[in-house]
Structures are given as structure tokens and as C-alpha cells.
Amino acid sequence: MATTQNSQPGAAATAIPASAPDACIPANPEAPDALPNGSAPGGTRTPKGPDWWLMMRAFLTQGKKIASFAPSSRFMARKLLDGIDWTNTQTIVELGAGTGPITAVMTKLARPETKLIVIELDPILCGRLRERFRHAANVDVILGDATCFGDLLAERGIQQVDHVISGLPLPSFPAVARDAVLEMAAKTIAAHGTFRQITVMPLVYYKLYRRYFDDVRFRFVPFNLPPGGVYVCRGYRGTLSTTR
Ligand SMILES: C[S@@+](CC[C@H](N)C(=O)[O-])C[C@H]1O[C@@H](n2cnc3c(N)ncnc32)[C@H](O)[C@@H]1O
């Protein structure tokens, strides 16, 4: 049985195939803190050192699960968030927040009533996020797997978000986990909303995102280490397996 929904502006109601996975598909099932519903038992670890070192160390030890050796620049964060109407934004979910460079800019732009749900899998990076945003009452930092973010939102009584912001290394996820994240995003994002993705490989994955979304805009960000960009996506078309 297929369910229908209209996730994006100008998009026709999108059929979610009957085969849509309801259970989460962990991108990193061997992670010690992984739980079936994607949340982890509060077990963050105390971060030692500056953000650049935490990211560098995570990259050196986990490679493509991290995908970038440095936190995003504020130029990347601004470009990613450009165009969001903060006056009408109730909830944003950020997937793969790292040390929080994008979260930090969101806390400056968002109204205090706007909920910022921030999900990070790495216990040390999550520890940094909890420490950094401990005074931000509208920021909820979750140690968990973003491939289960629908469950994590449901646990908090959230059915819909205005935008999904992703720092996840989606191209290196197993296809089934990437499909699950993007399908969940499509089910969750409000009609006016967007899926926004950072990259440090400008335009390389444009075709990949076009296979999931009808409308994909790329914005180049030269002032980032390394230079990168952002994809702003609307009009979910279905998972790769249904659009191939
Ligand atoms: C390229 S870094 C981006 C970090 C940060 N958003 C930034 O812009 O600097 C990717 C982040 O995604 C996190 N990540 C990878 N897989 C994840 C998953 N399944 N669930 C949640 N976070 C994940 C990594 O731990 C890492 O912090």
C-alpha cells in the first residue's frame, strides 16, 4: 500500500512506494552506541582540543564516515541557510552537525521559538555540541543515527519540519541508507521546505541529487577549507531504486 504526500513547493503529490523502509537502516551499524531506534544512551565523550582538531582526528580515524577534515566555514553555513524565512520557521533538523559551525549560525538567525534539532553520531563531536549549545534553550542535541531521524523526531512529538539541513557524507552511505534518509526527509519536510546539503566536492554529486529531486540548485562556496558548496533541493522524486 502506498502513501501519498506533497513534500515540496510545486511538486505533485509524491507516491511513497510500498517498499519504503519504516525501520531505520544504520549507516554505521557497528557504532558502539547504536541502538535499534537510532538513539544512543546519552553516552557522549568529553571533547579535548579545539574544533579543528576534533574534526581532523575524527577524519583520520573514521575517514569517509566524516568526509571532511575541517569544520565548515561561516561562509558555507551562511550560503547553506540563505533564503530561509526565519519568521515562519518552526523547526529545523540538522543531520551530522560535527562540531556545530552550522548550528552556531542557525542559533544567531533563528527566533528563540524555533526548534533546532541537531543529530550527531560521533560521541566526541556530540559532546562538543552539548557543551557548545548548553545555554541555547531551543537547541536539542541528540546523540544518534541520522538514518533514523524520523524515529528521533517522533519520540519528541515532531511530525513535520520546515527544512532538513545535512552535513552527512550521503554519497558514501550505502545506497539503502541514503535512500532512507532522503525518503524520511521527503516525508517530513513541509510543503514550502527544502532539503539542504553541504559538500566539499563542488558539483561532483549534482547528478546524484538530481536523481532524488526535481529541482536542485548548487551554490559554490570558495571560502571554505577545502572549497565546497551547497545543494538546495526541492520536489522529491522517489528513491534511487524507484527512479533508476
Ligand atoms: C562532513 S562532517 C560535517 C560536520 C559539520 N556539519 C560541518 O559542517 O562542519 C559530517 C558529519 O556527519 C556525521 N555523521 C556521519 N554519519 C552520521 C549518521 N549516520 N548520523 C549522524 N551523524 C553522522 C559525522 O560524524 C560528521 O560529524
Residues 6+ apart with CB under 8 A from 183: 16, 20, 21, 236, 239
Residue 176 forms part of a structural domain: yes
Residues 6+ apart with CB under 8 A from 187: 5, 7, 16, 150
pTM above 0.75, yes or no: yes
Residue 160 forms part of a structural domain: yes
For the Cβ of 66 lying below 6 angstroms from any atom of ligand 1, the answer is: yes
Summarize pLDDT for 44-103 with one digit per residue, the tens. 788 888 988 888 888 888 877 887 879 999 999 999 999 999 999 999 999 999 999 999
Percent of the chain with pLDDT over 90: 68
Residue 233 forms part of a structural domain: no
Residue 225 forms part of a structural domain: no
- Owning domain of residue 136: 72-193
Sign of the Cα torsion 82, 207, 101, 195 reads positive
Q: How far is the CA of 3 from the centre of ligand 1 (A)?
A: 30
For the Cβ of 200 lying below 6 angstroms from any atom of ligand 1, the answer is: no
Q: How far is the CA of 10 from the centre of ligand 1 (A)?
A: 30
Residue 156 forms part of a structural domain: yes
Q: Whose CA is nearest to atom 13 of ligand 1?
A: 96
Summarize pLDDT for 158-184 with one digit per residue, the tens. 999 999 999 999 999 999 999 999 999
Question: SS3 string of 97-166?
Answer: CCCCHHHHHHHHHCCCCCEEEEEECCHHHHHHHHHHCCCCCCEEEEEECHHHHHHHHHHCCCCCEEEEEE
Residue 209 forms part of a structural domain: no
- State the Rg of the chain over Cα: 17
* CATH at residue 135: 3.40.50.150
Residues 6+ apart with CB under 8 A from 135: none
Residue 19 forms part of a structural domain: no
For the Cβ of 147 lying below 6 angstroms from any atom of ligand 1, the answer is: yes
How much of the chain is in helix, strand and coil states, percent to nearest 5?
35, 25, 40
Residue 146 forms part of a structural domain: yes
Structural domains counted in the chain: 1
